[in-house]
Amino acid sequence: PRKVSETLTAVTEKPILLNRLQHLAEPWPASVVGAVESSYFWGYLITQLPGGIIANKLSATRAFGLATVISSALNMLLPLAMSASYGFTILIRFLQGLAEGCTYPACLGIWRYWAPPHELSQLANIAFCGSNVGVLFSLLLSGALTESIGWPAPFYIYGGIGILWFALWFLYVSEKPAEHPCISEAERNYIVDSIGDHTDVDAQSCDTPWKSIFTSLPVLAVIVMEIAHGWAFYLLIVEPTKFFCDVFQFDLTQVRLISLNSFGPCFHGNASIVLQSGFVSAMPHLLTSVIVPIGGCTADFLNNGRLATTAVRKLYICFGFGMEAIFLLVAGYSSDARVAVVCLTLAVGFSAIALSGSWGTSPIPVITPSLPKFLFKPAPPAGFNVNLLDLAPRYAGILMGLANGVGSMAGIFLPVATAYMAED
């Protein structure tokens, strides 16, 4: 789930948004369409680190819920915005990005009070899979909703579901097990005893150790991996449509039918095409939704006395990202569009392997050496984002905001770089 909050949200809305743009009385220039597409990412980038600080200093559960409901409400305004002006549309998308920039840091911050160490890998991987499952269903439903009701239907329905979800979240989710009104005493004691008493020391009372964070080699390693993963991930999201248009000279309908969630200038604004292509476009997310939980379980299996934790992490990160790079190269040099589609899909799948059980460390006293020893426990097998919980659970939201924010910059610079490198 990675890059995932911002990109998956952008991806699910983008085909319907561009479908509407195709039918404007006065079509917007390509530069305006590009500004509409990128405005979300600018907003998302801005609130990454502040979102982590908010989740760390205040309430991660409330920050996550409010960010989601704000984005959902703004989503319902998009049809009105697109009918009014492109400036209004850019503003709404930018505000959505600002709101959703807080979601992933807050999501990671929630687990510091709720995830027992030996269950952290599976719980976090399952939670992060939710973004892929959401996109999977939205890609399958958006075309049907557009064709049967109209193009604004997905915006209103998905936004309404988000608001309903927030009401349930607000009523039934608590920051800590001790505050939950419905949890059994046995479960509460199990979680608290498993995690330890470090949660009694609130992060609000501690200064953030910025110097230790920016000089920590494990944290810097996670940031480097975020950059590498973000670059490949956005490449798979942003460029496939142009790739199939330019390399294989496909017409508009063919490109939409095979593209992997990329809805660029070649988009064909026909609801039936969106409906048909939704099944193909959903395949990478279906693959990711299956691989990530399985990867977390197999990592636990390997780590259970069979391989050292560090060896498991290195195995997953090298194998996953290495195979992803190979399939991207094969797709780039392929002369057969079907081979290219298969390779791009498999690249997404192997990337999920790296996410599910990748690199980690032994006990590390480098983030906050003045803090209690709970920060230095061995890391359970999980993706490198989950590894931030292992490095410093008290500051996991801040670390996620920092790492994910830097990695998200690839979404801004990738189109410029690929355009420069692909010049004839």
DSSP state of 375: G
Under 8 Å between Cβ of 297 and 291 = no
Q: Give percent of the chain above pLDDT 90.
A: 11
Would residue 10 count as lying in a domain? yes
Query: Which residues 6+ apart lie within 8 Å of 156 measured at CB?
Result: 76, 79
Q: How many domains does the chain have?
A: 1
Neighbour count for residue 335 (Cβ, 10 Å): 8
208-222, 335-349, 379-393, range with the lowest pLDDT: 379-393
> Which residue, among 167, 142, 136, 139, has the nearest Cα to 68 in the 3D structure?
167
Would residue 200 count as lying in a domain? no
pLDDT digits (tens, 9 = 90+) for 269-291: 444 444 444 455 556 667 777 77
Confidence of residue 400 (pLDDT cuts 50, 70, 90): confident
Q: Is 102 exposed, middle or buried (0-12, 13-18, 19+ CB in 10 A)?
A: buried
Instruction: Answer whether 0.85 is exceeded by the pTM.
Output: no
Provide the CATH number for the domain around residue 60.
Answer: 1.20.1250.20
Cα separation, 142 vs 17, in Å, equals 11
Under 8 Å between Cβ of 255 and 248 = no
Concatenated DSSP letters of 29-89: PHHHHHHHHHHHHHHHHHTHHHHHHHHHHS-HHHHHHHHHHHHHHHHHHHHHHHHH-HHHH
Would residue 101 count as lying in a domain? yes
pLDDT digits (tens, 9 = 90+) for 67-76: 999 999 999 9
State the average pLDDT over residues 151-165.
91
Does residue 386 register a pLDDT over 70?
no
Would residue 133 count as lying in a domain? yes
Does residue 267 register a pLDDT over 50?
no
Under 8 Å between Cβ of 369 and 220 = no
Query: Which tokens go with 204?
Result: 């609000």
- What is the amino acid identity at position 254? Q
Would residue 386 count as lying in a domain? yes
Q: What share of the chain is helix, strand, coil (3-state, %, to 5)?
A: 75, 0, 25
The number of CA neighbours under 13 Å toward the Cβ of 379 is 30
Cα separation, 151 vs 239, in Å, equals 25
Per-residue pLDDT at 214: 86
Under 8 Å between Cβ of 344 and 331 = yes
1-10, 145-154, 178-187, 308-317, range with the lowest pLDDT: 1-10
Would residue 89 count as lying in a domain? yes
pLDDT digits (tens, 9 = 90+) for 45-68: 888 888 888 887 888 899 999 999
217-231, 243-257, 363-377, range with the lowest pLDDT: 363-377
Cα separation, 97 vs 396, in Å, equals 21
Confidence of residue 137 (pLDDT cuts 50, 70, 90): confident
Q: Strand, coil or helix: what is 424? A: coil
State the average pLDDT over residues 191-218.
72
Cα separation, 238 vs 243, in Å, equals 10
Would residue 199 count as lying in a domain? no
Domain range for 406 is 4-194+206-421
Cα separation, 124 vs 128, in Å, equals 6
154-163, 183-192, 211-220, 372-381, range with the lowest pLDDT: 372-381
Q: Strand, coil or helix: what is 90? A: helix
Per-residue pLDDT at 17: 57
Cα separation, 354 vs 356, in Å, equals 6
Cα separation, 205 vs 67, in Å, equals 24
Would residue 272 count as lying in a domain? yes
Query: Residues 293-303, buried b or exposed e (16+ Cβ, 10 A)?
Result: bebbebbbebb
- What is the amino acid identity at position 168? L
Confidence of residue 363 (pLDDT cuts 50, 70, 90): very low
